[in-house]
Amino acid sequence: MGLNLARKTVYDTFARHSLIFSNVPGPQYPCKIAGKTAFGCQMVFNNLLPQVGILSYNGGVFMNIVLDPLECPQCDKLGEFYRDSLISLAQEFGVTVPTDF
């Protein structure tokens, strides 16, 4: 694919979306980086659009949300909203929620 076609493809993809969601399966075993075992892994992309990135690694799931606080009012409360939603969902299905969550 030529450079101009590649640019047009990327532009067309991002121009038609308001959120990018990525779900990437990672290795299910611990990996070493520079001789040290990685305990977790984060996926962060700086885009013009809000980006949600979920990555599995070593039996865990890691998630980031990248957004523009000027475009998303009260985005500092997003973590609380997400936590409360997970607690509500767990309770609805009878899952015990730890008190330190």
Q: What is the pLDDT of residues 21-72, one digit of tens each?
A: 888 888 999 999 999 999 988 877 776 777 888 889 998 888 888 877 887 7
Percentages helix, strand, coil for the chain, rounded to the nearest 5? 30, 25, 45
Task: End-to-end CA distance of the chain: give it in Å, rounded.
Answer: 48
Residues forming a β-bridge with 54: 23, 63
Backbone angles phi, psi at 61, to 5 degrees: -125, 130
54 with 26, same domain? yes
Contact 65, 51 (CB under 8 A): yes
Q: Into how many domains does the chain fold?
A: 2
Residue 89 has pLDDT above 70, yes or no: yes
Q: 79 pLDDT exceeds 90?
A: no
Predicted structure pTM score: 0.56
Side-chain-side CA neighbours of 93 within 13 Å: the count stands at 7
**Structural domain for 74, as ranges:** 68-101
Residue 2 lies in a domain: no
**pLDDT on residue 90:** 92
